[in-house]
Structure 1
Amino acid sequence: MAWPNPNEYLEALQNPQAVFSDPALRAGRVITDRLGLPRPISGNFAVVFQVETGGKTWAVRCFLRETTDQEQRYAGISRHLAAHRPDYTVGFAYQPQGIRLRGQWYPILKMEWVKGQRLDTHIETLATRSDRAGLETLSRRWGALMAQLRSDQIAHGDLQHGNIVVDEHGQIKLIDYDGMVVPSLAHLRSPELGHRHYQHPTRTSGGGITPENFLNIDNFSAWVIGLSIRLLHIDPTLWQQTAAGDDRLLFAERDFKSLRGAQQPTQPLQLLQTHAQPAVQQAVQQLAELARQESYLRVAPFSSADLLNGAVPLPLPPTTTPLDLGPEPTSAAPPARRTPPAQRPDSLPELSLIHI
Structure 2
Amino acid sequence: MSDQLSAEDYIKAVQRPDLVFDRPELARAEFDVHPMLGIPVPASGSTAVVFRATVGGTTQALRFFTREDASTQQRYTALNAWFTERGLTGDVAGCRWVDDAILVNGRRWPMVQMDWVDGHTLDRHVEDLVEADDRTALETLAASWRDLLRRTQAARFAHGDLQHGNVLVDSAGQLRLVDFDSSWIAPFTGSPPPTEGGHRNYQPENRPWGPWMDTFPGLVIYLSLLALAREPKQWERLNDGENLLFRDKDYRPPHRTQVWSWVERLHDPQIDQLAARLRACCAPGWTATGDLEGLISGPVPWWTRTAAHPPAGAPPEATTAPLPIIPAPAQGTTTPVRPTTPVRPTAAPPRNTGTPAGPHPRSAARPAGQPAWWEQPPGPTQPTPTRPEPVPWAPVRNAGRWLREVGWALFAAVVTVLVWGLGRALVAASLTGLTSDDEAAVSALVALVPALAVLVLMVRRRRRRKRQRQPPGKAR
* TM-score of the superposed pair, with normalisation by structure 1: 0.77
- Asked if the contact 2:277–2:296 (Cα under 8 Å) also holds between the matched residues in 1, the reply is no
Residue 117, structure 1, aligned to residue 115, structure 2: no
Unaligned runs of at least 5 residues, structure 2: 303-476
- How many residues were matched structurally? 297
User: 1:219 maps to what in 2?
Assistant: 215
Q: What is the CA-CA distance between 1:115 and the residue it aligns to?
A: 0.3
Aligned to 2:292, the other structure's residue is in SS state coil
Aligned to 1:11, the other structure's residue is in SS state helix
**C-alpha RMSD of the superposition:** 2.3
User: Which deviates more, 64-73 or 264-273?
Assistant: 264-273
User: 1:51 maps to what in 2?
Assistant: 53
User: What is the CA–CA distance in structure 1 between the aligned matches of 2:71 and 2:38, rounded to whole Å?
Assistant: 36
User: 1:343 maps to what in 2?
Assistant: none
Aligned to 2:201, the other structure's residue is in SS state coil
User: What is the CA–CA distance in structure 2 between the aligned matches of 1:16 and 1:143, rounded to whole Å?
Assistant: 41
User: 1:306 maps to what in 2?
Assistant: 296
Q: What is the CA-CA distance between 1:290 and the residue it aligns to?
A: 1.5
Residue correspondence of structure 1 range 309-348 to structure 2 within 5 A: 312=300
Aligned to 2:197, the other structure's residue is in SS state coil
Question: Max radius of gyration: which structure?
Answer: 2
Residue correspondence of structure 1 range 1-356 to structure 2 within 5 A: 1-33=2-34, 34-67=36-69, 70-86=72-88, 87-191=90-194, 192-203=196-207, 209=209, 214-242=210-238, 244-257=239-252, 260-261=253-254, 265-273=256-264, 275-279=265-269, 280-292=271-283, 294-298=285-289, 300-303=290-293, 306=296, 312=300
User: 2:413 maps to what in 1?
Assistant: none
Q: What is the CA-CA distance between 1:249 and the residue it aligns to?
A: 0.2
Unaligned runs of at least 5 residues, structure 1: 315-356
Q: What is the CA-CA distance between 1:293 and the residue it aligns to?
A: 5.3
User: What is the CA–CA distance in structure 2 between the aligned matches of 1:49 and 1:145, rounded to whole Å?
Assistant: 27
Amino acid at match of 2:286: S
User: What is the CA–CA distance in structure 2 between the aligned matches of 1:91 and 1:276, rounded to whole Å?
Assistant: 40
Q: For residues 93 and 313 of structure 1, do their structure 2 counterparts lie closer, same or farther at Cα, with a shift above 3 Å needed?
A: farther
Alpha-carbon displacement from aligned partner over 1:151-179 (angstroms, at most 9, x marks no partner): 21111111111111111111111111111
- Asked if the contact 1:25–1:51 (Cα under 8 Å) also holds between the matched residues in 2, the reply is no
Aligned to 1:75, the other structure's residue is in SS state helix
Q: For residues 119 and 35 of structure 1, do their structure 2 counterparts lie closer, same or farther at Cα, with a shift above 3 Å needed?
A: same
Structure whose residues are more often helix by fraction:
2
Q: Kindly indicate whether structure 1 or structure 2 has the higher relative contact order, using CA contacts under 8 Å at least 6 residues apart.
A: 1
Alpha-carbon displacement from aligned partner over 1:186-219 (angstroms, at most 9, x marks no partner): 221221201111111222xxxx54xxxx221111
Q: For residues 11 and 92 of structure 1, do their structure 2 counterparts lie closer, same or farther at Cα, with a shift above 3 Å needed?
A: same
- Asked if the contact 1:21–1:97 (Cα under 8 Å) also holds between the matched residues in 2, the reply is no
Amino acid at match of 1:184: P
* TM-score of the superposed pair, with normalisation by structure 2: 0.59
User: What is the CA–CA distance in structure 1 between the aligned matches of 2:33 and 2:96, rounded to whole Å?
Assistant: 23
Aligned to 1:216, the other structure's residue is in SS state coil
User: What is the CA–CA distance in structure 2 between the aligned matches of 1:2 and 1:61, rounded to whole Å?
Assistant: 18
